[in-house]
Amino acid sequence: MWLSWLSRSLVLLVAIAQVRADADFMSVRTSLAKDYSGKGGDPGEKYFHESTFHHHYDGRFASNTLPESESAPYLSALIQTYLSTMSDIGAETWIMHGTLLAWWWNQKIFPWDSDLDVQISEPTIHFLAEYYNMTEHHFNLPGVEGGRTYLLEINPHYVVRTTADWRNVIDARWIDTSSGLFIDITAVRKDDDRRRAGRKGAMMCKDKHRYEENDIWPLRESLFEGVSVKIPYEYTKLLQEEYGSKSMTQTSFEGHKFNEDTKIWDRIRGNKHLSRLRGRSLDELPSRTSPLEHRLS
């Protein structure tokens, strides 16, 4: 959408050339004087470490959370750049869990939620691990001087397919290196145990979510935060199973009320309503900067 064929090809070639599959934890550290990663308090087997100040932030890149009024555009750009990148490199992905529920309401992130969840297939996690682990992706963002850089990091424990590896249920993350916010990426795999028991289409994730193959595929096309997105085929069924039917009808939640006229969740605090940044045109969406161009600038 945002790149010509030539520039998209250049990004792909340079991204592959920049792959560092053996990058260690310290190689992506920023200039923070203190380590807020939370690594010190986690078991040694755990790969991803949530920050010491909030479990939806990566403490390697930030030392505190953003106010809700400031986090909204960061989160919007986070999912836009992720979906754009996966589309550019041909990696199939779809939104799930609370992010899918937010899509169901108004195709926008819940204003109170900083937890973004997507899924990929098992062949896709192998593809990303082989060619794109630890690659940085730079985007020009409207109103953001210098743009922002996003890191795709793969958990090396993704090769362990059992739910017993409960410390490493997140297979990858898409991380905003300017704020520490990230997207959790989990791989959907064949459920070998249930398939041996006769459930031919059984699928599972390491976080113990279980599905049927036709619950997810064929994926449907839609929009989320103004960009193209894929959603599971049986999205209504999946949402009802995970959150209950009330989650799709209750119009007041987390101090917000859904405005049926504007289709926006307004925060109710006295007489003040805080609405998220909405109605962005295509010209206001992130545009990718070639990694080579970014290095030379």
DSSP, residue by residue, 206-266: TTS-EEEHHHH-SPEEEEETTEEEEE-TTHHHHHHHHH-GGGGT--EETTEEEETTTTEEE
Cα–Cα distance measured from residue 138 to residue 287, given in angstroms and rounded to the nearest whole number: 9
Query: pLDDT digits over 239-294, tens only?
Result: 999 999 999 999 999 999 999 999 999 988 653 444 443 334 445 678 877 543 33
- Calculate the average pLDDT of the chain: 83
The pLDDT of residue 26: 52
Q: How many CB atoms neighbour CB 277 within 10 A?
A: 11
Which residues 6+ apart lie within 8 Å of 221 measured at CB? Answer: 228, 229, 230
Query: pLDDT digits over 141-194, tens only?
Result: 989 999 999 999 999 999 999 999 999 999 999 999 999 999 999 999 999 999
Structure tokens at 84: 């754009």
Is 125 within 8 Å of 154 (Cβ atoms)?
yes
What's the domain range around 24? 5-296
- Of residues 288 and 140, which shows the higher confidence score? 140
Which amino acid makes up residue 99?
T
- Of residues 212 and 296, which shows the higher confidence score? 212
The pLDDT of residue 282: 47
Is 154 within 8 Å of 172 (Cβ atoms)?
yes
Question: Closest Cα to residue 65, out of 114, 3, 119?
Answer: 114
- Under the banding of pLDDT at 50, 70 and 90, the label for residue 59 is confident
Total domains in the chain come to 1
Is 171 within 8 Å of 54 (Cβ atoms)?
no
Max avg pLDDT among 8-12, 21-25, 172-176: 172-176
Average pLDDT over residues 229-241: 98
Per mean pLDDT, which range of 32-36, 79-83, 155-159 is the poorest?
32-36
The radius of gyration of the chain from alpha carbons, rounded to an integer in Å, stands at 19
